[in-house]
Structure 1
Amino acid sequence: MRRSTAPNPRSAVRRAAVVVMALLAGLVLGAAPATAAGLAPQPLSVSASNTNASVTSTGSDCTSGPLTETRRVTGSQSVPAGVFSSLPSQLAFDLPVLVGPTQAALRGSDARVTLTNARGTLTLALSSGSCAAPSLFNNGTNVSGSGTWTVVADTTAGNSYRQATGSGTFTLSTGIAVGGGGAWTLQLLGTVGVLQPTLAVTHRAFWGGPFNYLSRTLSVEYRIRNTGPGDAFGVALTDALPTTPGVTRLGPVPQTVGAVPAGTEKAVVVRYRVCGIAAIGCRFTADVQLHVADALDAGGAVSVQRTVQVPVSPVP
């Protein structure tokens, strides 16, 4: 007579664990990098002019040489969108011009130009000549000439141009008559590099109710996180196309994500028509395609493959 076999408690535990894992499979977050490749420094070309220069006179701190006075010249001008990033910006300058009878100079230690928009401020230090060897020309009422500029280091939190680097040349012409309403022109040429964003994508699959479960309409939330040092702008989900047969992407695509500052994330949801109720272990791979740009709007397309496990239950 054959003995009855008692249930194996360990097998029961294993089966229960498998079921629980399957139920949760569609909800587990998984990370995958979608890195914006390191971008080369971007060209900077800004030309501005106005008649709003304000000029004050102070004594020169040059201990020797032909420069005997300082004319502090300030002014500003709006910069249209597309010149310094895609945003309208404001150029402003504060230039202590060291002047003599026929010559002038700018020191990088105190001559500043700023470019400001909603993303932050980029500050440039202008330099041309010195007390002993001036390189700008002074005709008595106007100073003109050229020199070099470098980006001033900045670590201000929230400034998307923090830790930017760059250098170039400038051409300047400005009135130096004390008072206001002086005419000026300034041209900046060179390159600027800003911190780069790096995107990582996680996902969560869910049905969103019994009707969607029965119609096999699955929702996948893609969470787009910026793990890089630089802020991301113009982020968009251009597609999340399944590469597995039998699965149809319903959309919506594309979707605008917008700005994703460093250390933050945003989410979008894409729906799919997936395998039937009777299917066991249903999963599919989605090619998540993104567009991303840095604070100067330089960037492009990145993509990452995500494997989505279809939940076996219409809950939670």
Structure 2
Amino acid sequence: MRRPTAFSQRSPIRRVTVVVIALVAGLALGAGPAPAAGLAPTPLNVSVSNTNGNVTSLTADCTSGPLTETRRITGSQSVSAGLFSSLPSQLAFDLPVSVGGTQAALRGDDGRVTLTNARGTLTLKLTSGSCAAPSMSYNGTTVSGTGTWTVLPDAAPGNSYRQAIGSGTFSIVNTGISVGGGRPWTLNLMGSVDPLQPTIAVTHRAFWGGPFAYLSRTLSVEYRIRNTGPGDAFGVVLNDAATSSPGVTRIGPVPQAVGSVPAGSERSVVVRYRVCGIAAIGCRFTANVQLTVADALDAGGPASFPRTVQVPVVPVP
């Protein structure tokens, strides 16, 4: 291993060579977290109903107590954009319900609700009452009542809702439980969900786009937007990369849509600047890279990344 003092032992010519190479490359790196990390959980408030419920009979689960029959009701309904993220989604449920007399309960914690869109699937586990202590009401044809839900962890690759956490309450209103199809149902979900959060880092590379760009002093800066966090980023936008440094003008284009940046991936955008004259040595400026960043449930906001850009001395890539 080279000793820490080795650099100081290099010849002056070698030290100058290192400096010139750095100036010619015009490469500057930097990183910083986007404020998306540490956001409060996103509220979940979805109310859906339909008449496509399908009910089948299951083997009775309760060996004692008032509940003598077990039914399974399934159904689905589209969810408008804005209720579960900014995308239209699909809700589906599978509820094993034990009934008897005037009471009902879900079977253990086997009740499931899924919310699915192009980003992935969030699965909720529902619980309400038990064989010994039913908590819902039954009138012979329909079930109504309330209970609690928690997010069921899912580590599937490509699912942007993987490893999300969350909890809340649900209510079932006048849901048909007679065996057959076309049964009416109403399901309300309330609570909050916290998906994995993205963490954004920005690096940059300054370059001339050719001899004409060099002579006209039109510098291009490639901003590399990398997601170093565990969660996927969505709706990323480069709002601006302005500078207040004397003699430097940001040309653009801004804003620029970056789109989604999955965890561990990178996207690039290029912004042009009019910079100092050819005779200037050691020209540099600070650009304030301003992004909008959101998580899988579209919670997020602005993030700023000041970057010091070194202007290359000669017109090489």
For this structure pair, what is the TM-score category when the shorter chain's length is used for normalisation? Answer: over 0.9
Equivalences for residues 253-264 of structure 1 within 5 A: 253-264=254-265
The one-letter code of the counterpart of 2:252 is G
Going from structure 1 to structure 2, the CA distance change for 1:17 and 1:147 (only over 3 Å counts) comes to closer
Secondary structure, in 3 states, of the residue corresponding to 2:212? helix
What are the Cα deviations for residues 179-234 of structure 1, in whole angstroms up to 9, with x where unaligned?
Answer: 10000001111111111111000000000100000000000000000001111000
CA distance in structure 1 between the partners assigned to 2:128 and 2:207 by the alignment: 63
CA distance in structure 1 between the partners assigned to 2:47 and 2:147 by the alignment: 15
The one-letter code of the counterpart of 2:261 is V
CA distance in structure 2 between the partners assigned to 1:229 and 1:267 by the alignment: 20
8 A contact 1:108–1:125 mirrored in 2: no
Q: Which range moves more in the overlay, 164-173 or 291-300?
A: 164-173
CA distance in structure 2 between the partners assigned to 1:17 and 1:94 by the alignment: 66
Partner residue in 1 for 2:280: 279
Cα shift at 1:241:
0.5
The one-letter code of the counterpart of 2:92 is A
The one-letter code of the counterpart of 2:119 is R
CA distance in structure 1 between the partners assigned to 2:232 and 2:130 by the alignment: 38
CA distance in structure 1 between the partners assigned to 2:296 and 2:31 by the alignment: 23
Partner residue in 2 for 1:35: 34
CA distance in structure 1 between the partners assigned to 2:252 and 2:221 by the alignment: 10
Cα shift at 1:63:
2.4
The one-letter code of the counterpart of 1:42 is T
Cα shift at 1:59:
1.6
The one-letter code of the counterpart of 1:127 is T
What are the Cα deviations for residues 269-305 of structure 1, in whole angstroms up to 9, with x where unaligned?
Answer: 0000000000010000000000000111010000011
Q: Say whether 1:138 aligns with 2:138.
A: yes
* Identity level (%): 74
Partner residue in 2 for 1:238: 239
The one-letter code of the counterpart of 2:197 is Q
Partner residue in 2 for 1:50: 50
Partner residue in 1 for 2:163: 163
What are the Cα deviations for residues 232-286 of structure 1, in whole angstroms up to 9, with x where unaligned?
Answer: 0000000001131110000000000000010001000000000000001000000
CA distance in structure 1 between the partners assigned to 2:17 and 2:128 by the alignment: 77
Partner residue in 2 for 1:5: none
Cα shift at 1:29:
4.5
CA distance in structure 2 between the partners assigned to 1:23 and 1:93 by the alignment: 61
8 A contact 2:108–2:130 mirrored in 1: no
Normalised TM-score (structure 1): 0.94
Secondary structure, in 3 states, of the residue corresponding to 1:303? strand
Going from structure 1 to structure 2, the CA distance change for 1:108 and 1:114 (only over 3 Å counts) comes to farther
The one-letter code of the counterpart of 1:111 is G
8 A contact 2:235–2:293 mirrored in 1: yes
Partner residue in 1 for 2:294: 293
8 A contact 1:59–1:68 mirrored in 2: no
Partner residue in 1 for 2:6: none
- Structure 1: give runs of 5+ residues left out of the alignment: 1-8
8 A contact 1:205–1:219 mirrored in 2: yes
Secondary structure, in 3 states, of the residue corresponding to 1:302? strand
Secondary structure, in 3 states, of the residue corresponding to 2:33? strand
Secondary structure, in 3 states, of the residue corresponding to 1:34? coil
Between the two proteins, the alignment pairs up a number of residues equal to 306
Normalised TM-score (structure 2): 0.94
Secondary structure, in 3 states, of the residue corresponding to 1:18? helix
The one-letter code of the counterpart of 2:34 is T
Equivalences for residues 1-316 of structure 1 within 5 A: 10-24=11-25, 26=26, 28-36=27-35, 37-173=37-173, 174-316=175-317
Going from structure 1 to structure 2, the CA distance change for 1:125 and 1:13 (only over 3 Å counts) comes to closer
Secondary structure, in 3 states, of the residue corresponding to 2:32? strand
Cα shift at 1:11:
3.8
